[in-house]
Every structure is written in structure tokens, then in C-alpha cells.
Structure 1
Amino acid sequence: MTDLFLPDDDTLYAALLARDPAWDGRAYVGVSSTGIFCRLTCPARKPKRENCHFLPTVAACLAAGYRACLRCRPLRPEGDGDPVVTRLLAALEADPARRWTEGGLTAMGLDPSTVRRSFKRQFGQTFLDMARQARLQAGLTTLAQGGRVIDAQIEAGYDSPAAFRAAFARHLGLPPGSFRANARLRADWFDTVLGPMIAVSDRTHLHLLEFADRKALPTELKRLHASCKGDMGFGRLPPIDEAEAQLTAFLAGRRARFDLDLALHGTPFTCRVWQALQELPAGSTVSYSELARRLGRPEAVRAVARANGANQIAIVIPCHRVLGADGALTGYGGGLWRKQRLIELERAYAQTERTPA
């Protein structure tokens, strides 16, 4: 288990020189010649190798007597101080059905390329993509409340039924008419600090929990739709309410573990991998090879990786806790920026469990 341990200093110094975003928030550098500490992505001039002291957390940097850098601001989440991001998020929240274009950004005195870079760096997607998702989610809310497809289309700001159905199909993988009223499985969405998530449940078990912008979501929903023979609709059932409540508490630092009834759609080996992931305590990490060894299948590293990637209940089945053999971030369906945030968040849980009562 890699836990809070860092790789060797040569690896981290190379990441510092490259400003590797894979280590942002997971390791920091204290510079003995200046007495400050920075993110590894800091744009400041790079210190000499002999002046670098690498530490795993902000708390460790402060305890060692380092002051926070004023350029990369390691005490604040990346993007918090970006006025462009703040302004556009407020505008999107005020009018989620607005049709945003690059021309609209220019009319606000903003450079579309700067906006694109800022949002990709902070959220792993562009502002225009985020705005399109907000429009579709407005339509999804109407459908979940029992509204007609035409009402959902209008609420989402689409003039053409064909355009709405095409956008909906691209986003969820199924056109609106594929969803039944009073179905056994119901789909709904809710907001989190890491972005909107879509959940699917029956009356007793959670079947899917994914970030709305995950590229594999349409495929996952198609597969789930086929497995239940099309008996899927929109709406909120008790497992979704409970998932939202527990996830909100987890992301707020108030709950380290989940207690949800899950319906696992996978082969016996895949389900074993998912169950092993759930046994990892918050704040710990593991490599694919180590997870394979724990399952008694040290030769099945690739199969473990495939099972990890096939997980369709994000965060609750914590596939974000699997790192590369060298401790670096590896692919994550929800985006590496979310994986980084989750690992950083969970360090507080790890520190609490280590603190003697």
C-alpha cells in the first residue's frame, strides 16, 4: 500500500522540472534556500536539486516551517482565484438553459482560448461542454419529474425535437423515448462539489453512479438498459437519495465509509476486484499488481486493470485509489483532476485514523 509515501526524490524532481500535473496536490516541494513550499506545477524558476525537500501534504510543509508560495498558492484549490472561472460559473448557475458560444464569450470581453484552457485545467472539460451538459440536465430534471419530452426539450433550450433527441442520445446513449414511466430502474442526477453525477437504482439497490461527463456513460447506460430489458425510466428512488446523502457527507469530510446496497453487473472475477476495492480504507492507495496479489492472482494484473476501468459505481467503489506502479496517477474515467482531488481529500481521513484516541 503506497498510502502517504512518496516515490524517490529523483522521480519527484523530474516531475517538478516537467511541471507534471499528475503530481499536483499529491506532493509538494519545500525549498530550503527560500523557506517556501510550492506545487510541483509552480511556474516559478526551478530550485536546485540539493535545495528541494519533497513532502506529501500541505500540513507536512507547514509543520516543517515552510511558507506557502505566492505564485502557485498551494493553500488554495487550483482555480479558486481565477476570476474568469468564477464569473462564468456564476453566469451558468443563473441561467443553465442559455446557449453559450465562443461569440458570446467574446462579447463579454473574454478570450475563448483562455476560457478553454482555464476550464480544462480546472475541470478537465471546456466551459462550452459544461454549458451543454447543464442544458441537458435541465431537460433531464423535467423528465424525472414526469414531464413530457417536448417540455424537457423546451426546458433544455432546444428549438428542434431532433436536435434535443440527438444531443440526449449522445450524452446518455439513449433517446428520451427509450425511458419508461414507472420503470423498475430509475435514473436521476444530483450535483456534487466534483460535478454532476447520474445515478440509477431500483427500489433497494444502486446500479450505477457516474459523473455526467464520463465518456463511457452512454455505453454503460445502454448496457444497463439492455440488461433490464428496457425497464428503465427517470425518477428518484430511495437508494439514490441515500447515495446522494452519503456522498455529500464523504466529500465534505464527514464520512469515511459508505453503507449502500449495490447491484454489481460484472463477471465473478470483476466483482471480486470491486469488492476488494471497497475494503481499501479512505486515504490509502494500491497498485494494480498489489491488488492482483491480494486476490491471489498475481498474474492477472491486466484483468484487474480492466475490472477497475469497468467500475460503474464511482467513488463508492473506489477505483480512484489505484495508482501506477511508480505511484503516479493513471487513467481514471472521471478525469485525472477528480482522481487527484479525491486522493487529496481522503488524506484527512487517513490522518484521522492514524491519530491516537
Structure 2
Amino acid sequence: METDPDTLYDALLARDHGYEGRAWVGVQTTGIFCRFDCPARKPKRENVTFFDSVAACLDAGFRPCKRCCPLEPSTVQDPVVQTLLAALQADPLHRWTEDDLRARGIDPSTARRAFRRAFGATFLEIARLRRLRAGVEARAQGARVIDAQLEAGFESASGFREAFSRLMGRAPGTLSGAERLKADFIDTPLGPMIVVADEAQVWLLEFAGRKALATELKAVQREAKDPIGLGRTQATAHLAEDLARYFEGGSPSFTVPTAPYGSAFSNAVWAALRQIPPGTTCSYKDLAKAIDRPEAVRAVARANGANRLALIVPCHRVIGADGGLGGYGGGVWRKRWLIAHEREAGRGVAA
């Protein structure tokens, strides 16, 4: 790092917020790494190492602190974010408006910026998705469209139809229940994921709320030559078991069959991704070399971004050549969590 270590240590003792996102500290005696403003007792100078990225901390073998949560975006610790997330948890079907935020003394523009930094979506968008999920699940269980709309807390039938269609790629009234492909939600520690599967294989697995989700759902329907309905299949149940093991720190391997799609080049990239050992990372350049196409770094990056089987094809294990985490469709904060989780799980297996 360019900054003198003694200067960094003084900033650490002062809990200097100015270093947020620029520097982290690894504590050799505990094996954890922290933000500079961590409330924990500060270590002695000889017991610390400074890093300029979370990836560097993880590569050096340090675990994330459970008090300052350096894998989470800093805005998650923002009082505005904490307050609104708690309110959403308490009443997930409330129809939130900007007037509700003002009534709580929260400026809507402040909340909008904080949530976009943290999650890539505004609080109102997240709240709307939470309500829409209730409607999707009600419709999957055979509820009439009007009942699903009311279950989701939508006052307007057109508003519900529009939101449903934007998420699922078709209007709620067009679902017959006999569709071969079915979409369902699976809860994870990183938020709900949407899976599309037939009885035999999984076609899509993404974090709910991803901007590209609607486009991906349309692509699945086009390639399968079938519409997507709602419900759970045998393949979905199989995937849910794989995900449970993964998040519990067990096997990082996914055994559920997946539907083939994409070009030969993309499939070569995705196959190489699945060869990256859990708990390790590689760069796009390394991935290009692994498929004997060292000149195709940008194409490799595009194929990585086009993956629609999150976690199953572990595109989160690819980082920038400089050690930076780069982008991730599910959000960089999830990418940080996943890398750390796999390294922690690997230590447990080794022990």
C-alpha cells in the first residue's frame, strides 16, 4: 500500500471512517480482518497487517470479523438501511411509499442512494419485490389472480399484472398450471433465489431482484420452446437440498442436472469455472489461459456474465487481475460473502 503503515495504524486507533473501502486490517493473533472503524478492541502494532482489498485479506488467510462485517457493504450498517430493513422484516406486505419514509423522518433520496450502494436496488423496489413474491406464491398454489393480487398487497389489478409480467415474462392470468417448466423461490442466507426447472433438470438459478432476470427468463422460454409456469419440480427439490448443504458449509458441489444452453465457447468457459476449487479465485486472464484462449479475456468476461446458473456454475470465483472483486450480477457484497464462506467451509473440512 502507498500509505505508510504507521499512518494507517494511527487511523486504525482513531477509527477513521475515511479509510472505509480503501484499507482493511488483518489481526495476526486472531486470524480475522476488520474495517478501520470496527468497535472491537484495537490490536498492538506488531500484530497487524494492512491490506488494500477484501480479496487480499482473504487470500492471506484472514477470516471476516463478525462485529464489523467487512464482507457486507458499509451502507448495510447505515442506520437508515438498518431501520428500513427491520421495518420491512416486521411487515413484509406493507405497501411502502415515499410518504412512509418521510413519516419516519427519513429523506427518500437518502434512502434511495444508500440502498442502491448496498444492494443495487432502492428500498421501494426491494419492498415491492417482497410483496410480489407473496402474489407469485399464492398464484402457484392455485389462487385466483385477484386473490393473488390482494395477497401481495397490490391495490391495482393492472399494477399487479404489470409487476408479475415484468418478473415472470407473462401475465398471471395466462398460467394454466400444466407448464413443463416451473419457477419457484428458494430462500438462502443471501436472500431469495429464483429457480426455473422441469422435472429432470434446472434451467436457471438467480438471485431475485437481479436486473437481467426478466431477460433471462424470456431466453429460457425461447430456448425451451415452452412457457414458464409456477411450482416446484423434482429437480427444484434436488437443487434445494444442494443449496442447503452448500450454505451449511457442507459439500460445495452441485449434483442436480442442468439444461444445456449457450455457445461452445461459453460452455468451455463455464466448464472451466466449475474446475476452480472452492475457496480459491482466479482472474479472467487465468480463465482464458485455462481454455487455451489467452487472447480472449474480454470474451471470457462476457461469458462469465452470461451465466444464468448462479452458484452451480461459480462465476463468483473470478476476480480482477489486480485482486479487486469486480462485478457480480447478484451484487458484489454477495460475491464477497460467497468467497469467504467457501474458504471458511474449506478450513472446516481440512480440520
Same fold (TM over 0.5): yes
Please state if 1:202 is matched with 2:198: yes
Contact 1:289 1:301 in 2 (8 A): yes
Please state if 1:343 is matched with 2:339: yes
Question: Counterpart of 2:204 in 1: which secondary structure?
Answer: strand
Unmatched segments (≥5 aa) in structure 1: 1-8, 63-67
- 1:117 & 1:124 partners in 2: Cα distance? 9
- 1:121 & 1:10 partners in 2: Cα distance? 26
Q: CA deviation at 1:28?
A: 3.0
- 2:224 & 2:269 partners in 1: Cα distance? 23
Question: Counterpart of 1:299 in 2: which secondary structure?
Answer: coil
Q: How many residues align?
A: 326
Question: Counterpart of 1:56 in 2: which secondary structure?
Answer: helix
Using CA pairs under 8 Å that are at least 6 residues apart, name the structure with larger relative contact order, 1 or 2.
1
Which of 288, 312, 316 is equivalent to 1:320?
A: 316
Q: CA deviation at 1:20?
A: 6.6
Length-normalised TM-score, structure 2: 0.80
Q: What percent identity do the matched residue pairs reach?
A: 48
Change (3 A) 1:99 1:289: same
Q: CA deviation at 1:113?
A: 4.2
In structure 2, what is the equivalent of residue 137 of structure 1? 133
Change (3 A) 1:30 1:90: closer
- 1:250 & 1:12 partners in 2: Cα distance? 40
Change (3 A) 1:346 1:138: same
Unmatched segments (≥5 aa) in structure 2: 12-16, 40-44
Which amino acid letter does the alignment assign opposite residue 73 of structure 1?
Answer: C
Q: CA deviation at 1:80?
A: 7.3
Which amino acid letter does the alignment assign opposite residue 56 of structure 1?
Answer: C
Contact 2:250 2:345 in 1 (8 A): no
Q: CA deviation at 1:297?
A: 1.5
- 2:149 & 2:107 partners in 1: Cα distance? 30
Q: CA deviation at 1:213?
A: 0.7
Instruction: Map 1:1-357; keep pairs closer than 5 Å.
Output: 9-10=1-2, 19=19, 21=21, 28-30=24-26, 38-39=34-35, 53-54=50-51, 56-57=57-58, 73-74=68-69, 84-352=80-348, 355=350
- 2:264 & 2:174 partners in 1: Cα distance? 30
Contact 2:92 2:131 in 1 (8 A): yes
CA offsets, 1:56-92, max 9 Å, x none?
A: 2599669xxxxx89xx835795677665544433432
Length-normalised TM-score, structure 1: 0.79
Contact 2:249 2:345 in 1 (8 A): yes
Q: CA deviation at 1:181?
A: 1.6
CA offsets, 1:123-158, max 9 Å, x none?
A: 333221110101110111012112222222221122
Bigger Cα displacement from structure 2, 211-220 vs 96-105:
96-105
